[in-house]
Amino acid sequence: MIPPTSFFPTLLTFHIFPLHAPITLWHLDAPFGRFSSKTSNLNVNGNIAWAAAELVSPITFATTLLVNPHPPLNYPSRILAGLYFAHYAHRAIVSPLILSPKRSPLHVVVALAMGLFNLFNGYLVAAGLAFYPPEAEISWKFWIGVAGWAIGFLGNVYHDEVLNDLRRLPGDRLVTSRLSEDEDPKAGRYKIPRGGLYKFVSFPNYFSEWIEWTFYALAATSPSVSNSLVPLPPLAHLRLHAGLRGSLVKLIAKIWWPPYLLHPAWMFVLAEVACMLPRALRGHQWNQEKLKGYPKDRKAVIPGLL
């Protein structure tokens, strides 16, 4: 098995990641996309840097399962592993290197932060699957989770391609055939997207990805599977690595800890929302201020709510 002395300290460290959300919401725009600095000497090619940073996740995922001894992956865990690889095959290879037009420069700090996030996440999600014993069963709730993952994945791909179409020549567009009615085809790089959930929100690609990984987490913790998981010991009783036995860990261990956040799949959802929600809110504000005729009734990321 993958030793708890490595798994749980890493998971605990990953819980610190969402704490950046207030900073990126109120004080700091991550320097990529519409917020990138075109003149920074630390900029790198956006397409290649994005692909390299995202590839860290599936490589770490595969390496974790290949290098660490664990029971053979059962049927549900193999399905979940396949879904994980399908997502990153598109996100790390197909989207940035094949489908996407030229992206804005990516600041090297952003690329490194993405790579670090994916390093943690790839290891933790793979280790979580390795806790599945061979006799775990599949219920209808598992298949609902898989179906919800597929809907979110396809929604994420579709809405990303709507954005990409705004930067393609008319004959090269994949999912839309026109710009917005009030848009000059020779206008700047950023235009008003139309179609799908763009009718309701500015960032339906983010919303779709949250759906994707929420249903993935539901599948990973469906009752027939989660009841068969090797029990995760309470945080207070973990035999943590000697270097982490400090007053901070002891203090955290005494605080009530949501049990679902001890599962990597749910921690992934929390970390994604914490990363993408501030970006969506600030990007939505930018759209309203910079894009002439931007629909005033659109929300930022959650239809009808936010």
Which residues, including other chains, have CB under 8 Å from residue 118's CB and lie 6 or more apart? 53, 54, 56, 57, 60
* CB of 265 closer than 8 Å to CB of 282: no
Name 43's bridge partners. Answer: 107
CA-CA distance, 192 to 156, in Å (whole number)?
Answer: 18
Instruction: Specify the DSSP class assigned to residue 177.
Output: S
Domain-located, residue 145: no
Domain-located, residue 152: no
pLDDT of residue 105: 82
pLDDT of residue 17: 75
pLDDT of residue 228: 41
Direct distance between the N- and C-terminal alpha carbons of the chain, in angstroms, rounded to an integer: 42
pLDDT of residue 237: 37
Scan for tokens 């290197």, then name that residue: 97
pLDDT of residue 223: 56
Domain-located, residue 26: yes
Residue of 269, 275, 273, 287 lying closest to 202 (CA atoms): 287
Return the HEC string of 144-175.
HHHHHHHHHHHHHHHHHHHHHHCCCCHHHCCC
Residue of 95, 75, 98 lying closest to 87 (CA atoms): 95
How many residues belong to the chain? 306
Within 10 angstroms of residue 287's Cβ, the number of other Cβ atoms is 19
Name 299's bridge partners. Answer: 201
Domain count, the chain: 1
Instruction: Provide the 3-class DSSP secondary structure of residue 249.
Output: helix
Each residue's pLDDT tens digit, 16-75: 777 765 665 555 555 555 655 666 788 888 899 999 999 999 999 999 988 887 777 888
Domain-located, residue 52: yes
Scan for tokens 């399905």, then name that residue: 79
CA-CA distance, 202 to 69, in Å (whole number)?
Answer: 44
pLDDT of residue 243: 42
Domain-located, residue 163: no
Name 106's bridge partners. Answer: 44
What does the block give as tokens for 44? 């790198």
CA-CA distance, 82 to 172, in Å (whole number)?
Answer: 30
Domain-located, residue 278: yes
Tell me how far apart the 2 most distant CA atoms of the chain are, in Å: 62
Domain-located, residue 44: yes
Residues of the chain with pLDDT under 70: 1-5, 20-39, 131-137, 171-172, 176-189, 223-262
Note down the domain range covering 270: 4-137+221-290
Give this prediction's pTM: 0.83
Domain-located, residue 124: yes
